[in-house]
Structure 1
Amino acid sequence: MSTDNPTPLSRSIGKAIANRRAIANLTQEQVAERLGIGQEAISRMERGVAIPTVARLAELADVYKCNLDQLLTEASDREDDQAKAILTIVGRLSNADRLLLIEWLKVFANRLLPSPTST
């Protein structure tokens, strides 16, 4: 499916596809070759201009050696899906790096919270 004006969802899916490709350390050309399609098709999916079918997403998941749901949860704006995506990212870190990230996240999240107003 193609769209002249990428939607937030198509851009999110494209970003997740590009992210998984980077994690797999593959180029767009390598992915295109494995799928038997042109490199421009991969580029269009990653930019959110073309929305891949479920079958194509499954093929991409196979190439990237991840679960299909990982591609979809990374593109979701649902809180529980975002938590799963964060878990996947954190899970690749060493214990020391996870602890460092958790401390940084606490500080950062506290800075983003609205300050209480005094009445």
Structure 2
Amino acid sequence: MTKNVENKRAQSIGRAIAKYRADAGMTQESVAASLGIGNEAVSRMERGIATPSIQRLYELAELFGCEAVDLLTTGSHHVDDQYRHLKQMLAKLDAKDRELVVSLLEQLSARLAR
């Protein structure tokens, strides 16, 4: 694997960590305190400079109320990962809103396929 690919993956994971942290209403400081690490360590993970270990991913997921796989697949270009992300978003909606979103996606997909 090239260094460029590794950097892009680290940045994608970092963006996911930042997103889930913000969604959980946490600051970098509160995450650092919960994990017993420095604020700079959290900042480096979020910027994609440092890649968290698998154990650290599980700790972060527990803090944020998500699954570790969410931190790895958010922002992925793989269809299965994107499907999983869409499924999670749709699951939060009621039936009527899900129908609306699916309809909009169908229309957009048909238009883009032309």
Q: TM-score range by the shorter chain?
A: 0.7 to 0.9
Partner of 2:62: 62
**Residue aligning to 1:89:** 89
The runs of 4+ residues in structure 1 deviating greater than 6 Å are none
Partner of 2:28: 28
Distance 2:56 2:12 in 1: 16
Deviation string 1:13-46 (CA, Å, 9 cap, x unpaired) is: 1111112112212122211111111222212211
Equivalent position amino acid for 2:92 in 1: R
Distance 2:28 2:82 in 1: 25
How far is 1:58 from its partner? 1.0
Query: What are structure 2's unaligned runs of at least 5 residues?
Result: none
Percent of pairs identical after alignment? Answer: 44
Give the drift of 1:61: 0.8
Distance 1:89 1:17 in 2: 17
Question: What TM-score, normalized to structure 2?
Answer: 0.82
The residue aligned with 2:111 is: 111
Once residues 85 and 94 of structure 2 are traced to their aligned partners in structure 1, the CA distance between those partners, rounded to angstroms, is 17
Write the letter of the residue equivalent to 2:99: L
1:63 Cα shift? 0.6
SS in 2 for 1:26: coil
What amino acid is the match of 1:34?
A: S
* TM-score, normalised relative to structure 1: 0.79
2: CA distance, partners of 1:38 / 1:95: 43
Structure whose residues are more often helix by fraction: 2
Distance 1:47 1:110 in 2: 36
Change (3 A) 1:97 1:22: farther
